[in-house]
Amino acid sequence: MNLLKNIRTTAINVFQNEANALLNLIPEIGDEFETCVKDVLKSKGRVVITGIGKSAIVANKIVATLNSTGTPSLFMHAADAIHGDLGMIKKEDFVICISKSGNTPEIKLLVPMLKTLGSKLIGLVGNKDSYLAKHSDYVLFTGIEEEACPNNLAPTTSTTVQMAMGDALAICLLTARGFTAESFARFHPGGTLGKQLYLKVKDVIDASLLPMVEESASLKEVVLEISSKRLGATAVVDAAQNLRGIITDGDLRRMLQNNFEVSEIKAGDIMTKNPKTILLDDFAVKAVEVMRTFNITQLVVKDNSSLVGFVHIHDLMKEGIV
C-alpha cells in the first residue's frame, strides 16, 4: 500500500512540476515571440528544425505539427547537419535550433555555419546566457527550474516545455493564416479524422435505394416497400412527392402492440410527421450528431426540397465515422 501511495505521489509531482513550468513560460510570450511569428509568416521559405538527443525527438514532433497545419517544415538532425545535411537549407528558410543548455558542442559548431548560409536562426533554448541564445535572431525561452526526474537528469519537464512552445508557434501561425477545418482536411485525408472533415452525406448513401410510399398506401404496401429497400424505414409523401412523414420498423411494431385493425391502416395513420432530415451536401459527421441527439438510426436525405435517399447509421459505421 505504501508503494502504491508513493507511485501516485510521484506521478502527481510530475504533473505539478510540468504544469508549473508551462505556466512560468507565459510571461516569456512577448514582443520577440510576436515578431518571430510575423516574420515566419512573411517568409517564402520553410521552417527547418534541428536538435540533438531528446531535443531532436521534440523537433520531429514540431515538424509534424507545423506540416499538418500549413507551415512547410523539415527536420535536420544537428549531428547530421555538420556532415552534409546543411545542403537542405536555403537562404530564405528559418531554422529553429532546440537545445536545453544551448552550449552543446554540436550546436556551437552548427550555429556559425547556419549564420554563413544567411538563414534566420530561432533559438528555442532553456538558457538565455548560452551560446545559442546569444547568436540567435530570435530567442524562444524554454527555461525550467528543474526536471521532473528526482535526480534532475532525465529530460522530462524540459522536453514538455519545448513541445508546448512548438505548439504555441504552430497554432499562432495556423490562426494567422486563417487555417480552417477544411484546410486541415486537405492534409489529413486518411483515417477517421480525415473522413470527419471531408466525407459528405452524398458520399455514403445509395441513391438507388429510396423507399417511398404515399399517405394513402396500405399497410401491405408499406411493409413491402420497407422490406424491398432494406433500410428499415420508408418516407411517406403526398401526391406531389413532398415529404410528409416517415415509417420505421419500430412504428410497425408499436402499431401491432396497440391492436389496430390492420386491414384499415394507411401509411398516413402511423407515420411520424416532420421527420428529421439532412442535406445531401452536409458532412457525414453532422448526420451522426443528429442521430445521436434524437436517438434515431436513419435520416431522410434531401437535395434542396427533393428527396434523394436515406442515410443509415450502418452506412456511417462502415465508413468509420461512428
Cα separation, 173 vs 195, in Å, equals 24
Confirm if 168 and 179 have CB atoms less than 8 A apart. no
77 is in an annotated binding site: yes
Only one residue has cell 505548439, namely 167
Q: Rounded to the nearest 5°, which phi and psi values hold at 184?
A: -60, -40
Confirm if 127 and 154 have CB atoms less than 8 A apart. no
Only one residue has cell 547537419, namely 81
User: Residue 220, Cα to own-chain centre: how many angstroms?
Assistant: 48
Confirm if 123 and 132 have CB atoms less than 8 A apart. yes
Cα separation, 259 vs 247, in Å, equals 17
Confirm if 235 and 211 have CB atoms less than 8 A apart. yes
Question: What stretches of 240-300 show up as alpha helix (H) in DSSP?
Answer: 249-257, 267-270, 284-294
SS3 content of the chain, % helix, strand, coil (to 5): 50, 20, 30
Binding site members for Zn(2+): 77
Binding site members: 77
